[in-house]
Amino acid sequence: MRKRGSSSFSLSSYDFRDWAHLPPEVVELISERVKSITDYIRFRAVCCPWRSASLPKPRHLPPQLPWIMPPLFWAPLSGVSFDDVWEAKNRTFHLPGTEGGVTNCACYRGWLLFTEYSGMEVLLINPLTRARILLPPFAAPVRHLGDDSGVPSDNSLFNYSRNIWHSFSGSKMTFSTDLTDPNCLITLLIASWTTSWVICCRVGDPYWTRVDCCLSHVSRYSDVTYYNGRFFFLSEYRESMSIIDSTNSEERIVPVPGLRGVRKHFVEGMSGVYVLAICREEKFELYQFLELPMKFEQITDTSNGTAIFYGDDYPCLAVCTDDWGSLDRVFTPMEHKWVLYAWKCTVGSHYSIYSAQRDMESSEVRVPGGEPRYLAGNIRWFQPSLI
């Protein structure tokens, strides 16, 4: 081939590749190597053949690095915005069906929970896929776990909690499995400053089921989770954890020694049950619940490559970092350790992100794109998902 500067230079047909017409099986293989959800969305947007050859709801994507979600107040919504601090971008999504005036109560695994003020409509919405799932209304009567009659009581959750929908500080939602599983149990913690409620349901249920434990008689719950057929309850003011079996309502108390009056949260996203304790002087301690014998054990081995994301008043989640080489730019060296991130609301209504490694010494991390400023309120970690 002649040099480009010569007058007789011409491009052969081999100098261009018709990428849009790659064999579908090749496009599928390439798509399965994409690990970032934003890269996957860009991949499917290249052209129609690539979109057709890749799955709209892929299951190969690992747990994603979370985005920061500012508080949503009671108002008609034209969209919801997230701050992707890892790519230093703001991402806004239109949410159909929220224009009439709704509020966001909780979020989990890429899904947002919305309710209107009357409590008659409760929706799960995935902002990336715009999928919607209707849940039982809060204004409907509720039943209690262990009530063999299966008949809901006369009181509705809405009567109990009419005045707390604007208080997002204690709201939390978890799923027992994937939402595509008809047996998936959705658990919701709703809390004010003085009291709290735990309710659960399955998609298609006509009403919510309320779950109570002995901790509710002395204080509000600081956190609740569901794992392997059991509900786990924590309270800041108790040195114990309550476990309730979802099948027979049997309750067991497990001591959490030395953690009375300490902020405690369950860590979501890993197998088993873990508790993150935020002690004085912002010292973070991690405990694992052991089935046999039933007790807590502090974790000192940090070799599993997991990042914990914690918010001041919002429950935690954990993401495996093995597939995320991009974390090298946030802290060095990148070793397989437990690494904790936390946002802190500070004076001026903005947040900072901190990290703590094995020695538990906190230090501020420079966040790509600076420090976005939000109104004061409950800022959440949102973990994007296409499923």
Amino acid in position 229 = G
CATH of domain 62-382: 2.120.10
pLDDT score, position 202: 93
Most confident among 200-209, 257-266, 345-354 (mean pLDDT)? 200-209
Q: Is the pLDDT of residue 28 over 70?
A: yes
pLDDT score, position 342: 78
Q: Is the pLDDT of residue 333 over 60?
A: no
Amino acid in position 7 = S
Tell me the pLDDT of the chain averaged across its residues: 76
pLDDT score, position 78: 64
Domain boundaries, the chain: 18-61, 62-382
DSSP 169-201: TT-EEEESS-TTSTTPPEEEEEE-SS-EEEEEE
Q: Is the pLDDT of residue 384 over 90?
A: yes
Entry pTM: 0.84
User: What average pLDDT does range 268-297 have in this prediction?
Assistant: 81
Q: Is the pLDDT of residue 382 over 70?
A: yes
Cβ proximity of 199 and 141 under 8 Å: no
Band (pLDDT 50/70/90 cuts) for residue 175 is very high
Q: How far is CA 21 from CA 14, 53, 55, 80, 222, in A?
A: 15, 11, 17, 36, 54
Q: Is the pLDDT of residue 300 over 90?
A: no
Output 25-31 pairs: Cβ under 8 A, ≥24 positions apart: 25/53, 27/53, 27/54, 28/53, 28/54, 31/55, 31/58
Complete edge-to-edge strand list for the sheet that includes strand 80-84: 89-93, 80-84, 67-69, 380-382
Cβ proximity of 104 and 111 under 8 Å: no
- Alpha-carbon radius of gyration of the chain: 23
Q: Is 226 exposed, middle or buried (0-12, 13-18, 19+ CB in 10 A)?
A: buried
Q: Is the pLDDT of residue 3 over 50?
A: no
Strand (E) or helix (H) holding 31: helix 24-31
Most confident among 20-34, 287-301, 361-375 (mean pLDDT)? 20-34
Residue 233 and residue 318: Cα distance in Å, rounded? 19
Q: Is 345 exposed, middle or buried (0-12, 13-18, 19+ CB in 10 A)?
A: middle
Residue 2 is given by DSSP the state -
Q: Is the pLDDT of residue 252 over 50?
A: yes
Band (pLDDT 50/70/90 cuts) for residue 200 is very high
How many other β-carbons are positioned within 10 Å of the β-carbon of residue 149? 8
Least confident residue range of 19-33, 69-83, 198-212, 267-281: 69-83
pLDDT score, position 219: 60
Q: Is the pLDDT of residue 241 over 90?
A: no
Q: Is the pLDDT of residue 334 over 50?
A: no
Compute the C-alpha angle 316/106/108, nearest 5°. 55
Residue 258 φ/ψ region, left for φ over 0, alpha for ψ in the -120 to 50 degree band, beta for the rest: left
List residues bridging with 92 in a β-sheet: 81
Q: Is the pLDDT of residue 12 over 70?
A: no
Q: Is the pLDDT of residue 279 over 90?
A: no
Most confident among 54-68, 71-85, 209-223 (mean pLDDT)? 54-68
For residue range 70-106, what is the model confidence (pLDDT) as tens digits?
766 545 566 788 888 778 788 888 877 676 666 777 8
Cβ proximity of 123 and 133 under 8 Å: yes
Cβ proximity of 177 and 166 under 8 Å: no
Nearest Cα to Cα of residue 69 among 303, 311, 332, 318: 311
pLDDT score, position 230: 92
Q: Is the pLDDT of residue 317 over 70?
A: yes
Residue 119 is given by DSSP the state S
Most confident among 169-173, 248-252, 257-261, 279-283 (mean pLDDT)? 248-252
For residue range 342-357, what is the model confidence (pLDDT) as tens digits?
777 665 556 677 776 6
Residue 98 and residue 103: Cα distance in Å, rounded? 9
Tokens (6 digits) for 101? 């005036």
Residue of higher predicted confidence among 351 and 174: 174
Residue of higher predicted confidence among 134 and 365: 134
For residue range 112-168, what is the model confidence (pLDDT) as tens digits?
988 876 667 888 999 999 899 999 988 888 888 887 776 777 676 666 555 445 444
